[in-house]
Amino acid sequence: MDKNSKDNLHSNKDEDNKEKGTLTTRQGHPVRDNQNTKTVGNRGPATLENYEFIEKISHFDRERIPERVVHARGAGAHGYFEAYGSAGDEPISKYTRAKLFQEKGKRTPVFIRFSTVIHSGTSPETLRDPRGFAVKFYTEDGNWDLVGNNLKVFFIRDAIKFPDVIHALKPDPVTNIQDSERIFDFMSQTPEAMHMLTFLFSPWGIPANYRQMQGSGVNTYKWVNEDGEAVLVKYHFEPVQGIRNLTQEQAEEIQKKNFNHATQDLYEAIERGDYPEWELYVQVMSDDDHPELDFDPLDDTKIWPKDQFPWIPVGKMVLNRNPEDYFNEVEQAAFGTGVLVDGMDFSDDKMLQGRTFSYSDTQRYRVGANYLQLPINRPKKKVATNQRGGQMSYQVDNDENQNPHVNYEPSLMNNLEEANPSSKTYSPHVSGEVKKEAIDRQNPYKQAGETYRKFKDWERDELIKNLVANLKPCRKEIQEKMIEHFTKCDEEYGRRVKEGLENDKMDAADMDSTHGGPAGATQTKEGVEQA
Ligand code: HEM
């Protein structure tokens, strides 16, 4: 038992004073004896008609569902989003007709799941890894999921490479050990990953906890207004608590004592009424290719520079309620990038398009075909479909006016009709040759170099130290390729990694971590920024 799992996690106050109920089976039968298996005599063999025992043990045998293939380790909380009703000095309706943003002070319930990416459901929360930041907004128009990370960029820009980057980062399929040689083998062939790696191996790769980190949608979406006009949009959550990251050494210190520190920090803060808050900002760009930029606005390895595309505040999110049951709410929660509401749309960002298939596909397998009937995933808005059946279906998603005999459409016998909104449909025009080809403006090094130069001295020192530690076990050709990439980002960056690797005198103790992160001083909002 983790010694930091404090008593107050279990102080379910009122429970002690309640009247006692009767333990039952799942069939509702009272259980007379929950201590002894039914046997022939009190020492004899067990009987097969021992329903109570078989029900109990066979349910236990099925307690787990498949872990998420990525982001398996997570923590969740409920709360609300409150709209500012404007986009800076502009009315928000200029950009989007999404109802949740329109009215100042309007609250929409949310559920958020934070996570680490690579390791399993009980792995330490101190590891160097991006952090997931997935928010489900239960809007009056149905659900909107914003499935983001703490970091603002990603390793790759085409969804077809996702299984490869994840396989490289996951443990070796033979040894089941994460291996930096496998990681850098892949990364050395993936120049677009340099920006993400620069963040990941700096203190930004180990946020101190979930409350003091940013969230970003990473991919480029669209907003659509009442006239059917679209803009490109990026989302950013900024923690009111400030930003705090850890050095490798600090993370290791925490990990010695507690591998659940981020979950615990979030749970306890909410229990004591110290509700974490984030402000939501957007960046907008007109909906075109922007040939004037040296990057493609649909490339998720790039930041949209803040000075050209200012952050516009549109609302705040407050987390004020812990889940009542981890499995039901946090484990079975299913977020996806395809889950948008009216006033939002997809951009042609190739990662976003690939992700949009992947989430609901994996959830039909991981949770089941009827995952959207579960309370945590179900919209608060009335659902009325003709979809029926499937494993674990427990209710008919009928409108009260719907004819229960008619599960098809069109029909003269039913009262269910297609929606007929007054707002204009957004119909982008697309033409071109169908091909497999990378985008033109790849520019893999410029922003990575800028990020390197923007870091504070201690952040750069940590970055170099962590990269050197992780590149040390790699074969020479991988080291050389990585040095070449870093040098193209910034001459000093490459030189320092090279010198680190050449320096035999380097303190071995500092160098023997495979993965983890840098140790961490405190960064506040006034400190270094990602964008
Ligand atoms: C989870 C696929 C890129 C953020 C997942 C899951 C899959 C997946 C299959 C597990 C979902 C589940 O079991 O419920 C992909 C693919 C990607 C991609 C195919 C690229 C093509 C990204 C990016 C981000 C991201 C760029 C950050 C913006 C997340 C988060 C979760 C997640 C936060 C956890 C959601 C939760 O808490 O349940 N992803 N992903 N993913 N992904 Fe991605």
CA of 24 to the centre of ligand 1 (A): 39
At residue 17, the pLDDT reads 64
Q: pLDDT for 183-204, tens place per residue?
A: 999 999 999 999 999 999 999 9
Find the catalytic residue in 71, 78, 195, 515. Answer: 71
Q: Which residue has the tokens 């919209």?
A: 379
Q: pLDDT for 481-530, tens place per residue?
A: 999 999 999 999 999 999 999 995 455 444 443 333 333 334 444 345 66
CA of 278 to the centre of ligand 1 (A): 21
Q: pLDDT for 85-106, tens place per residue?
A: 999 999 999 999 999 999 999 9
Does the beta carbon of 358 sit less than 6 angstroms from any atom of ligand 1? Answer: yes
Residue 395 pLDDT grade (very low, low, confident, very high; cuts 50, 70, 90): confident
At residue 12, the pLDDT reads 52
Ligand-binding site membership of 359 (annotated): yes
At residue 523, the pLDDT reads 44
Check whether 7 has a pLDDT greater than 90.
no
How many whole angstroms separate alpha carbon 417 and alpha carbon 396?
17
Question: If you average pLDDT over residues 10-30, what whole number do you get?
Answer: 77
74-373 belongs to CATH 3.30.420.40: no
**Is 71 labeled as catalytic in the residue annotation?**
yes
CA of 316 to the centre of ligand 1 (A): 23
Question: If you average pLDDT over residues 405-412, what whole number do you get?
Answer: 91
Other beta carbons within 10 angstroms of residue 427's beta carbon come to 8
Q: pLDDT for 29-67, tens place per residue?
A: 999 999 999 999 999 999 889 999 999 999 999 999 999
Q: pLDDT for 460-469, tens place per residue?
A: 999 999 999 9
The ligand 1 atom at the shortest distance from the C-alpha of residue 333 is 38
How many whole angstroms separate alpha carbon 82 and alpha carbon 100?
8
Check whether 279 has a pLDDT greater than 70.
yes
- Out of 29-33, 108-112, 322-326, pick the least confident: 29-33
DSSP letter at 325 equals -
At residue 422, the pLDDT reads 82
Q: pLDDT for 210-263, tens place per residue?
A: 999 999 999 999 999 999 999 999 999 999 999 999 999 999 999 999 999 999
Q: What is the pLDDT of the chain when averaged over all its residues?
A: 92
Check whether 128 has a pLDDT greater than 80.
yes
Distinct helix (H) and strand (E) counts, the chain = 13, 12
Does the beta carbon of 235 sit less than 6 angstroms from any atom of ligand 1? Answer: no
All CATH 2.40.180.10 domain ranges of the chain, comma separated, are 74-373
Q: Which of 147, 190, 351 to mutate to test the pocket of ligand 1 (most atoms within 8 A of CB)?
A: 147
Query: Which protein residue has the closest C-alpha to ligand 1 atom 40?
Result: 355
* φ, ψ (nearest 5 deg) of residue 202: -90, 180
Residue type, 408: Y
Does the beta carbon of 367 sit less than 6 angstroms from any atom of ligand 1? Answer: no
Does the beta carbon of 147 sit less than 6 angstroms from any atom of ligand 1? Answer: yes
- Out of 19-28, 75-84, 233-242, pick the least confident: 19-28
Residue type, 374: L
At residue 330, the pLDDT reads 98
CB 12 within 8 A of CB 28: no
> pTM of the entire structure?
0.93
Does the beta carbon of 239 sit less than 6 angstroms from any atom of ligand 1? Answer: no
Does the beta carbon of 132 sit less than 6 angstroms from any atom of ligand 1? Answer: yes
Q: Which of 358, 365, 367 to mutate to test the pocket of ligand 1 (most atoms within 8 A of CB)?
A: 358
At residue 400, the pLDDT reads 79
CA of 103 to the centre of ligand 1 (A): 31
Does the beta carbon of 76 sit less than 6 angstroms from any atom of ligand 1? Answer: no
Residue 421 pLDDT grade (very low, low, confident, very high; cuts 50, 70, 90): confident
CB 150 within 8 A of CB 215: yes
CA of 133 to the centre of ligand 1 (A): 10
Find the catalytic residue in 78, 143, 149, 485. Answer: 149
Does the beta carbon of 71 sit less than 6 angstroms from any atom of ligand 1? Answer: yes
* φ, ψ (nearest 5 deg) of residue 461: -60, -45
Burial readout 87-120 (b: 16 or more C-beta within 10 A, e: otherwise): beeeebbebbbbbbbbeeebebebbbbbbbbbbe
At residue 18, the pLDDT reads 74
Quote the distance between the C-alpha of residue 255 and its chain's center: 22
- Out of 319-323, 329-333, 390-394, pick the least confident: 390-394
